[in-house]
Structure 1
Amino acid sequence: MVWFEIILVALTLITGVIWLLDKLFLAKRRATADGLLDERAEPVVVDYARAFFPVLALVLMLRSFVAEPFRIPSSSMMPTLLIGDFILVNKFAYGLRLPITNRKVIEIGEPGRGDVVVFRYPGKGPGDPNTGADYIKRVIGLPGDTIEYAGTTLSINGQVMQYAPKGEFKGNGRNAEMNGATRLLEKMPGHEHEVLELPDQFVDPRGESRWTVPPGHYLVMGDNRDRSDDGRFWGYLPEERLRGKAFLVWLNCSGWFCTDSFEPSRIGNDIP
């Protein structure tokens, strides 16, 4: 969340500046006649700044450049990701980016077909209240690809994807909303993952079912194709809005201290 990044950056800067000013100037004024520091004269704010700055700086570095936690709030990525999943996102897979601005400063890699990515939602147009929110979808179309989606069948550059039935989806709690849907193994070039399909129900992407992905953009879709607000509706995802690659589920629960639900089988699951 952008607001959390802003607060974290602000607190890190404030505590760092206080600690630095004390180190360079203020501490000398508290020196006793024999050159030792009078710890009793140290202001409380300096004590707190010195204690919290290293912790805040470490958290900021880890979240910005290594891995960041996110929580899945909806069913759009079922069956790969369930409601209540807590995931980790690799923040350097697609280049190192500055916090808040998300501006890339070091090139490292690019999304591959089938990657599950977290990004800042570009919005459907002016006034969309969700613009800038963190979304998660799967990369289907790379720059230059031609993607077709007819009914429930996906084609990439003229190649029709093959599907293998994997049984019926069965979920608990909030995830039970998709019970009865069919799990299908979608075989993309170089990547396989499961998707959900509701019998005799499919999303009509407003009459458009063919896209040619422009340079510097991607076409993303949810694995729960009939319950996903994705690139079929709002267009292409600009590269500069990418935040990282989802790679691990480390917990699934809901409620304070997981009192409402807890799924131990989700702990440590890789994200295909």
Structure 2
Amino acid sequence: MSALTGVLYAALVAYLGGWYVGRWSGNFALLLFILTAVTMLYWLAERFHFAPARRAAAQNLVDNDAKRRENLAAQGISRVDGDIEPARQQILQQPWWLDWTAGLFPVILVVFLLRSFLFEPFKIPSGSMVPTLLVGDLILVNKFHYGIRLPVINKKIVSNHDVQRGDVMVFRYPEDPSTDFIKRVAGIPGDEVSYVNQKLYINGQLAPTQPQGNFYDEDARVYRQRFLEKLGAKEHQILVEPNAQRYFRADRADGPFPFSENCRYSLEGVTCKVPAGHYFMLGDNRDNSRDSRFWGFVPDENIVGKAFMVWMNFGNLKRIGTFFD
């Protein structure tokens, strides 16, 4: 068992190493599920086989020592050398391969349950959601806000709140479901969403905006125009570059996106009718975001959860505790 455990740990290290250096894409949810299952098997084996066997062996040692002392006492020998307690403790001691598997099961199980059904942490890798979210923000995502989903397969089994326009949502990227993306919900099923001449229209109605002055983008080292935009009952800040390219085209890597016939592209922008069970997503950094304008709609089964708080940013501690819609 120790050799098998060593092989399993070597495979885990190799997998994580390749994931870290970009040799392959990782599915952390699947990895955590496998770790939970494997450590549970070790935990069950320890609880119902290995631990009882060690206790039986230790008790056998104690019984044999007691018999030996009893026999010696019958021969008139009352003083017997030898303390078996160190040997008994050594027999009862859990071997390393159980300590690093069965011993970790409760911790891994708690992490798996919390991450799968309650909250999951994410790191913001790009500036597509500036100024709401900055590069390096570590955020928390509410996994049960939109409903309870089974881990790994992401199948919804219990519904909760409906997705609302203006929600900041984490989802599996339609072009590569092993990658998680974060954008703002601009259109829900049945909406007609237009982004024309750098203005957003929902069902023919212009989304109200108010100028908020310039915003200095520290990563790009440029100033951008900032506006307060209102989607439904929610207000949030967006960035717009007046001189940016305004022409969009579908450029999904794996070909035309599902329901691409629902979208019309022109020199002024794009207009899409959101199909049932899908959502139209936009980045708050409107001219520096690759979103539904390019790769299409996000299906409901790709939803991960609703982002709601920055819990850490090692480069800007003032960001800690920032809540957002």
Q: Normalization by structure 1: what TM-score?
A: 0.87
- Quote the residue 2:258 is aligned against: none
5+ residue gaps, structure 2 = 1-24, 64-87, 250-264
- Quote the residue 1:169 is aligned against: 215
Q: Kindly indicate whether structure 1 or structure 2 has the higher relative contact order, using CA contacts under 8 Å at least 6 residues apart.
A: 1
- Quote the residue 2:4 is aligned against: none
Q: Which structure's CA Rg is the greater one?
A: 2
5+ residue gaps, structure 1 = 124-129, 254-261
- Quote the residue 2:68 is aligned against: none
CA contact (8 A) 2:200 2:207 kept: yes
Q: Find out whether 1:179 has 2:222 as its counterpart.
A: yes
Q: How does 1:114-193 map to 2 (within 5 A)?
A: 114-123=166-175, 130-172=176-218, 174=219, 177=220, 179-193=222-236
Of the candidates 82, 85, 88, which is equivalent to residue 134 of structure 2?
Answer: 82
SS at match of 2:33: helix
CA contact (8 A) 2:43 2:103 kept: no
Letter of the structure 2 residue corresponding to residue 40 of structure 1:
Q
> Residue 131 of structure 1: CA displacement?
4.4
Distance in 2 separating the partners of 1:229 and 1:39: 62
- Per mean C-alpha deviation after superposition, the further-off stretch among 196-205 and 132-141 is 196-205
Distance in 2 separating the partners of 1:202 and 1:11: 47
Letter of the structure 1 residue corresponding to residue 311 of structure 2:
W
Distance in 2 separating the partners of 1:199 and 1:81: 21
CA contact (8 A) 1:68 1:89 kept: yes
> Residue 100 of structure 1: CA displacement?
2.0
Distance in 2 separating the partners of 1:230 and 1:178: 23
Q: Deviations over 1:36-76 (max 9, x none)?
A: xx553333222333321111111111111111110111111
- Quote the residue 1:259 is aligned against: none
Letter of the structure 2 residue corresponding to residue 29 of structure 1:
A
- Quote the residue 1:258 is aligned against: none
SS at match of 1:102: coil
Structure 1 residues 2, 245: closer, same or farther in 2, change over 3 A? farther
SS at match of 1:181: strand
CA contact (8 A) 2:217 2:224 kept: no
- Quote the residue 1:216 is aligned against: 277
SS at match of 1:80: coil
Q: Find out whether 1:21 has 2:45 as its counterpart.
A: yes
Q: Find out whether 1:205 has 2:251 as its counterpart.
A: no
Of the candidates 316, 319, 322, which is equivalent to residue 263 of structure 1?
Answer: 316
CA contact (8 A) 1:141 1:218 kept: yes
Distance in 2 separating the partners of 1:44 and 1:106: 41
CA contact (8 A) 2:170 2:307 kept: yes
Letter of the structure 1 residue corresponding to residue 184 of structure 2:
R
Q: Deviations over 1:131-165 (max 9, x none)?
A: 43110000000101111111111111111112101
CA contact (8 A) 1:66 1:92 kept: yes
CA contact (8 A) 1:169 1:178 kept: no
Q: Deviations over 1:100-144 (max 9, x none)?
A: 222222222221110000000111xxxxxx443110000000101
Which structure 1 residue ranges, 4+ long, deviate > 3 Å from structure 2? Answer: none
CA contact (8 A) 1:143 1:216 kept: yes
Letter of the structure 1 residue corresponding to residue 237 of structure 2:
E
Letter of the structure 2 residue corresponding to residue 132 of structure 1:
S
Structure 1 residues 202, 107: closer, same or farther in 2, change over 3 A? same
CA contact (8 A) 2:46 2:102 kept: no
Distance in 2 separating the partners of 1:52 and 1:203: 53
Distance in 2 separating the partners of 1:178 and 1:156: 32
CA contact (8 A) 1:147 1:212 kept: yes
CA-atom RMSD in angstroms: 2.1
> Residue 2 of structure 1: CA displacement?
5.0
Identity of aligned residues (%): 44
SS at match of 1:136: strand
